[in-house]
Structure 1
């Protein structure tokens, strides 16, 4: 017993919650400084690698528009946070203007081929990068195939990076799952009509086609031709036939390519992957204790979950009444539970303690907007309520000029009063989409706004990525219906727009693998 006690006392203490901050990411993990720093550096190198290979540059995001990665204990916790009954989710990503987040289990960030949890994160960040750097919408196969291509990475100990390695995690799918033909990818009309009752090889086949068109010497130049035709508005089938020729011949070539003993990949030397510094901050005792509450709240909660979570948040806030981050998290929980006055009070206290608490301004603005929406006064009183509600977002704009939420809520303050938004508000909404092009709900708002203003060519461009969302869903179908009708009726300005909305167009957001 004495020996056991001595061993226990000598064992290292559990690592404290740490925040790692870099140019494109904010990571929260209960891990060592060494591991979380290496993890952040690898994500930044991955971003730099994609930018180099695609010869593109994504504008540096504002601090709140970076992707926040929460590292939780294990995949079981990931699935609980994701919700639903999908037993295969290894991590997921939620794209939101001013609040994009990814939730993953502990990631092994050593050198070598990446683990499944890292593949999931890299796959979803590839989507984030590609939609942020492309004006044109991509067909679903191209979106998923490119994400699989880049996610099959390998990090070298010297800072180098491999991209486009064989997607070994899709090998079983390609061999044993229900087959998907090249024609299904390139002309999805029939594929989309079929009922899919079992898991098929869509992801694996999309990776294979993307990899083959990238490296296949016998198809040199065809991939560029295909994407150029799509960008010029050519339909998916027509663009594919013109660029690749006969689909049956392409299918045979893909089969031959898959059976090769070796495949080409891209290797990028460290000097090609310039990244900025990673700064670390150990969270305060209060921040660390409320972190599980913060993650669940940030993920999104039901009314029942919000009520339960609030009890926990209030108890922690009572222990740390002077911790501004804890108070900001409390404000979010109060808002989630429908307690607007309490949310404002907690946010105000947080801001007094620390005026740089971005989330406190956001939650105060949310609560005041909801109070304004519920206002029963006359037009003058409602206008005053919305003016008050805009104040926290104006303060946030001064604090972080490129935060998209102030622009979004300036626009909403007019719409929710039943007023025609002024041009300044519409321009602000356009700027918000420029800052957060990955937020498909925001794109939907701008697209329908432009449609009502008679700017349908711009609306089609904005709605394209929504219609081609690789994860599908009701909102995607709605955007597709709107684009289709705009093409048929060029003078249409969105009258009876609601008739184009499928019944399942709400409640989307989390994307995972």
Structure 2
């Protein structure tokens, strides 16, 4: 009887368990359907995310709307926008983002390369005011992309970062209402630490500030200047944007700052009708009033956002942490460590064109290993052929061949500070013909154009018409690509416009983000200055 009673109880419990499981099955199925990675494509963004689809779709919508509103605020014309879509990897938690990227202390980052713009971020919202918010970080970084991609002028670092911080607080309400200017964690820095004097802040140009004088009154109130550069940039942009009269003065200030014949302090006084101390006093008073107003506007023509959604397979989902790092250019480490896994994906038919591209880039990155250079070159050729066989663009195939050929022709020491003679001029001529074929296949892809122009910048040859046209295409397609501007300056000098080249490098040096970058620009300028007058028009280009 005891055993029978026990079995009855067990059957009863099992019945309850089955009922519970049947009840939970729809919930489990829904959760499973939402798990894994998805790809979301809109007009200007490609987002890969393992977050819940609703959150990911909302991010894509907000990015499209943000682009529209920032364009409206800054008077940017997007009608001729030919920029490739921004590719974003959006992890559902900050912990996963950090584990994948190793970008400690950040909530996201953005960069522009020859393959186009990309960004990595966490989609996890901040729970407390001082925490990083993934959405806000990516809006901040995308502001840089918009401003630098579509504006011909240089921006002071305080304004560049401050305006990005201000605009990144943008929220979309009902009926087209847009609200900007909410509080951010930067306020705590301004509250707890001594401020950088506005003279230092404003005259830092494009450089990130690394040092700040320690307060003798209380050393504990000193903080690395870069934190204050962001914080003071934010509150200054907040103050200027929420005061209509001050808002009008911003464009005057930026225009004057971009004139080499106007001193920084004079530009400031002419635009804001006060001196550094005067405006800093006004901004400090504005901050300590603790009544930071928001800027509200109603946008009646927010675009309808169409999103194409694709669920990634288990194999592709498991590859996303690695793929994000490959797109960010980490072919030497992430690529080398995961080569076998990428080969397995290629052989399994998972996006074979992309996998072949990655494998070719990994092999090219490893060619600087002298012991195995020939083996890596053979491996690169194998995967370039596989890329073409999988339907890859002839322009990109030419670019891949160019990457490995330039190293073979000029060596891995070639740079911009001095001319390098090709080891094999005939091989260089063949490469240039191949790059031209790639350009003809897709005239809009900047990659073969850049390598063609680069093949002249390394040398002391006079660039041909195609090289000058190619660097113009790179400038138009990727205006925020720094190496493109350097190559353009060198080609201008070789083409006879030495003063124009020096002026261009001087602008780059004046607005450099660091002392090291400024030093590199100055070394390139020295190369151009030391060219004999007859050489500034360059030697005749080899036939190609």
- Say which is worse superposed, 355-364 or 26-35, in terms of deviation: 355-364
1:212 aligns with 2:254: no
Measure, in 2, the Cα distance between the counterparts of 1:465 and 1:167: 34
Measure, in 2, the Cα distance between the counterparts of 1:316 and 1:205: 48
1:180 aligns with 2:196: yes
Distance 1:357 1:61, change over 3 A: farther
Distance 1:152 1:472, change over 3 A: farther
1:353 aligns with 2:390: yes
Measure, in 2, the Cα distance between the counterparts of 1:420 and 1:144: 39
Do the aligned residues in 2 keep the contact of 1:330 with 1:343 (CA within 8 Å)? yes
Deviation at 1:392? 7.1
1:420 aligns with 2:462: yes
Do the aligned residues in 2 keep the contact of 1:20 with 1:28 (CA within 8 Å)? yes
Deviation at 1:283? 3.7
Q: Secondary structure at the match of 1:100?
A: strand
Do the aligned residues in 2 keep the contact of 1:334 with 1:343 (CA within 8 Å)? yes
Paired residue for 1:468?
511
Deviation at 1:429? 0.4
Paired residue for 1:240?
268
Q: Secondary structure at the match of 1:272?
A: coil
Distance 1:313 1:219, change over 3 A: closer
Larger Rg: 1 or 2?
A: 2
Measure, in 1, the Cα distance between the counterparts of 2:459 and 2:357: 28
- Say which is worse superposed, 40-49 or 402-411, in terms of deviation: 402-411
**Candidates 207, 221, 224, aligned match of 1:199:** 224
Deviation at 1:436? 0.7
Measure, in 2, the Cα distance between the counterparts of 1:108 and 1:357: 42
Q: What does the per-residue CA deviation read over 1:428-456, in whole Å, with 9 as the maximum and x for residues that have no partner?
A: 20221121111122222223433454343
Distance 1:95 1:266, change over 3 A: same
1:297 aligns with 2:326: yes
Deviation at 1:278? 2.8
Deviation at 1:322? 7.6
Deviation at 1:80? 5.2
- Say which is worse superposed, 356-365 or 146-155, in terms of deviation: 356-365
Paired residue for 2:8?
none
Distance 1:198 1:315, change over 3 A: farther
Alignment of 1:131-170 (within 5 A): 131-156=148-173, 158=175, 160-163=177-180, 165-170=181-186
Do the aligned residues in 1 keep the contact of 2:203 with 2:264 (CA within 8 Å)? yes
Do the aligned residues in 2 keep the contact of 1:290 with 1:326 (CA within 8 Å)? no
Do the aligned residues in 2 keep the contact of 1:67 with 1:101 (CA within 8 Å)? yes
Q: What does the per-residue CA deviation read over 1:146-199, in whole Å, with 9 as the maximum and x for residues that have no partner?
A: 211211211225554323x13422111111134212222223399969567843
Measure, in 1, the Cα distance between the counterparts of 2:334 and 2:48: 23
Do the aligned residues in 1 keep the contact of 2:268 with 2:275 (CA within 8 Å)? no
Alignment of 1:286-325 (within 5 A): 287-301=316-330, 303-320=332-349, 323-325=352-354
Q: Secondary structure at the match of 1:152?
A: coil
Alignment of 1:82-161 (within 5 A): 82-83=101-102, 87-107=104-124, 116-156=133-173, 158=175, 160-161=177-178
Do the aligned residues in 2 keep the contact of 1:48 with 1:273 (CA within 8 Å)? yes
Structure 1: which 5+ runs fail to align?
A: 487-491, 498-513
**Candidates 298, 301, 306, aligned match of 1:277:** 306
Do the aligned residues in 2 keep the contact of 1:75 with 1:91 (CA within 8 Å)? no
Paired residue for 1:367?
404
Paired residue for 2:295?
266
Measure, in 2, the Cα distance between the counterparts of 1:214 and 1:198: 26
The alignment's C-alpha RMSD in Å is: 3.7
Measure, in 2, the Cα distance between the counterparts of 1:143 and 1:247: 18
Paired residue for 2:9?
none
1:443 aligns with 2:485: yes
Q: What does the per-residue CA deviation read over 1:299-322, in whole Å, with 9 as the maximum and x for residues that have no partner?
A: 233745543122332233343378
1:21 aligns with 2:38: no
The TM-score normalised by the length of structure 1 is 0.80
Distance 1:304 1:69, change over 3 A: closer
Structure 2: which 5+ runs fail to align?
A: 1-13, 214-221, 368-375, 413-421, 533-544
**Candidates 420, 430, 433, aligned match of 2:472:** 430
Measure, in 1, the Cα distance between the counterparts of 2:240 and 2:269: 14
Measure, in 1, the Cα distance between the counterparts of 2:133 and 2:519: 30
Do the aligned residues in 2 keep the contact of 1:20 with 1:281 (CA within 8 Å)? yes
Measure, in 1, the Cα distance between the counterparts of 2:437 and 2:21: 54
Q: What does the per-residue CA deviation read over 1:217-273, in whole Å, with 9 as the maximum and x for residues that have no partner?
A: 564643333223224432222211233323222222111111234334333434233
Deviation at 1:19? 2.3
Q: Secondary structure at the match of 2:300?
A: helix
The TM-score normalised by the length of structure 2 is 0.76
Do the aligned residues in 1 keep the contact of 2:93 with 2:124 (CA within 8 Å)? no
Do the aligned residues in 2 keep the contact of 1:177 with 1:199 (CA within 8 Å)? no
1:251 aligns with 2:280: yes
Paired residue for 1:500?
none
1:342 aligns with 2:379: yes
Paired residue for 1:379?
425
Measure, in 2, the Cα distance between the counterparts of 1:275 and 1:464: 40
Q: What does the per-residue CA deviation read over 1:451-487, in whole Å, with 9 as the maximum and x for residues that have no partner?
A: 4543434653576366425x536224534x479x79x
Do the aligned residues in 2 keep the contact of 1:286 with 1:323 (CA within 8 Å)? no
Measure, in 1, the Cα distance between the counterparts of 2:91 and 2:395: 23
Q: Secondary structure at the match of 1:57?
A: coil
Paired residue for 1:229?
256
